[in-house]
Amino acid sequence: MLRRLDVRGLSDQLESVLPRPPAAPAVAEAVAAILAEVRRDGDRALRALTERFDGVRVKGLALGQTELAAALDRVDPELRAALEVAHRRIAAYHRLESEPPRELHTDGLRVRELVRPVGRVGCYVPGGRARYPSTVLMCATPARAAGVAQVDLCVPPGPDGEVDDATLAAAAIAGVDRVYRVGGAQAVAARAYGTETVRPVEVIVGPGNRYVAEAMRQVSGVVGIPAATAGPSEVCVVAGPQTPAELAAIDLAVQAEHGPDGLAWLVTWSEETLEAVERALAAIVAASPRRQELAATLRDGGYGCLVEGPEQAVAVANVVAPEHLELLVDDAAGLVELVRSAGAVFVGPRSPASLGDYVAGPSHVLPTNRTARFASALGVADFRRRIAVVEAEDEGLARLGPSVVALARAEGLDAHARSIELRR
């Protein structure tokens, strides 16, 4: 069920001995062809590609406020209430990120920052045969908290050519302006280049499969893409001898059931725990309605890693740099300070990653494929630009001008120096 690894005694060699995420098949050429087709043919390409990949002919590409409001009225009241609770907590968390701009006023020079949101954001949410209304909230809510004026959504249509009501209801609650029934790399192309129906954007966010992630990589620079595009789901569970095996097993399954290409790591210093978790996990897979997705992820990306103790367990996690890191041990709080690379950390046996997936507050759009080494969860900063504002007084030119002249002359840039001298 889990590929066994034993790194006991190898603390200085973890980066070289731990396997990297499984390599995805080459998709760059296929994605490049899709991007080119959408850029050339616009809406006609989107319809053709949707029929080719999703197997449906959509009536129209765009859904507006009327359709969103109708879906909100149709969904089960309990689901609507849950979406509103999640939205309230996500919005409250991201409002905390909105700090006032910094300002420095010394030597006769006033330097400050203007913080401005981008004008339009395109959210991508997986769909088709599954639905992720929570991801709508996790993408659109921080964009609104950042002050973005227009937030649109792309989602693949279902087998009937429609977008399900739960997704549309979440879009209504999160303040999405428009929903487009298109997914995959073609949706990314439409957001980057625009078509007759789909408006181009400044930033694209959201998780997707390897084709979506590759498309985001290829259009980066045409539009803004967060430093870590979110790919297939990952979890690293740290468990000790006292960790209930069924809790560790179900939390591995929580992320693995998203499907192929993900990662599910169990890290423990107890062979008995490893064996007990494997037994519990096998039972979960056998009984799951998503057993195929679970089995595929665990076959290709499931690992059971034996370590010397808690500190080495966190050292392994720092190399894996997982999207979700769960510390399912009683002294979990004491291990948090050792964490260096993770998308989000869940502390203690009572804090499963599913809390973060839905209602904790931080976005569940997290860095994957070891990009947590340099990237962070989706947040307000991904939708804003910082603009430096420089204002000089007479004192500033007198005191700092000579330094500018000296540096400019040293670099052979005469006009730079003269621009100061003409003002003194």
Model confidence pLDDT, tens digit, residues 374-419: 999 999 999 999 999 999 999 999 999 999 999 999 999 999 999 9
Q: Is the pLDDT of residue 309 over 70?
A: yes
Superfamily of domain 3-21+231-373: Nitrogenase molybdenum iron protein domain (3.40.50.1980)
- Supply the pLDDT for residue 24: 61
The length of the chain in residues reads 424
Indicate if the pLDDT at residue 74 is higher than 80.
yes
Q: Is 364 a catalytic residue?
A: no
Burial level of 43, CB count in 10 A (0-12/13-18/19+)? Answer: middle
What is the 3-state secondary structure of the chain? CCEEEECCCCHHHHHHHCCCCCCCCCCHHHHHHHHHHHHHHCHHHHHHHHHHHHCCCCCCCEECHHHHHHHHHHCCHHHHHHHHHHHHHHHHHHHCCCCCCCEEEECCEEEEEEEEECCEEEEECCCCCCCCHHHHHHHHHHHHHCCCCEEEEEECCCCCCCCCHHHHHHHHHHCCCEEEECCHHHHHHHHHHCCCCCCCCCEEECCCCHHHHHHHHHHECCEECCCCCCCCCEEEEEECCCCCHHHHHHHHHHHHCCCCCCEEEEEECCHHHHHHHHHHHHHHHHHCCCHHHHHHHHHHHEEEEECCCHHHHHHHHHHHCCCEEEEECCCHHHHHHHCCCCCEEEECCCCCHHHHHHCCCCCCCCCCCCHHHCCCCCCHHHHEEEEEEEEECHHHHHHHHHHHHHHHHHCCCHHHHHHHHCCC
What integer pLDDT is reported at residue 228 of this predicted model? 60
The CATH code of the domain at 42-100+117-227 is 3.40.50.1980
pLDDT of residue 414: 96
Mean pLDDT of 88-102: 83
Rounded CA gap, 171 and 419, in Å? 52
Predicted local distance difference test score (pLDDT) of residue 185:
96
Q: What is the signed CA dihedral for 26, 27, 28, 29, rounded to 10 degrees?
A: 100
pLDDT (tens digit, 9 = 90+) per residue, 244-267? Answer: 999 999 999 988 887 677 899 999
User: Domain boundaries in the chain?
Assistant: 3-21+231-373, 42-100+117-227, 393-421
Predicted pLDDT at 261: 74
> Which residue out of 324, 393, 411, 416 is catalytically annotated?
324
Please check the confidence at residue 232 and state whether its pLDDT lies above 80.
no
Region 145-171: mean pLDDT is: 95
With a cut of 80, say whether residue 129 has pLDDT above it. no
> Could you give the CA distance from residue 155 to residue 98 in angstroms, rounded to a whole number?
28
Residue 246 known to be catalytic = no
pLDDT class of 294 with cuts at 50, 70, 90 = confident
pLDDT at 341: 96
* Position 330 pLDDT exceeds 90: no
This prediction's pTM: 0.88
What residues form DSSP beta bridges with 389? 112
Share of the chain above pLDDT 90, in %: 79
Write down the pLDDT at residue 297. 86
How distant, in Å, are the alpha carbons of 326, 329, 351, 394 from that of 239?
A: 9, 6, 13, 64
Output the pLDDT for position 292. 85
Does position 305 have pLDDT exceeding 80, yes or no?
yes
- Domains 3-21+231-373 and 42-100+117-227 alike in fold: yes
Under 8 Å between Cβ of 125 and 139: yes
Q: pLDDT grade, residue 300 (50/70/90)? A: confident
**What pLDDT was estimated at residue 209?**
84
Query: Which residue among the candidates 323, 326, 391, 395 is catalytic per the annotation?
Result: 323
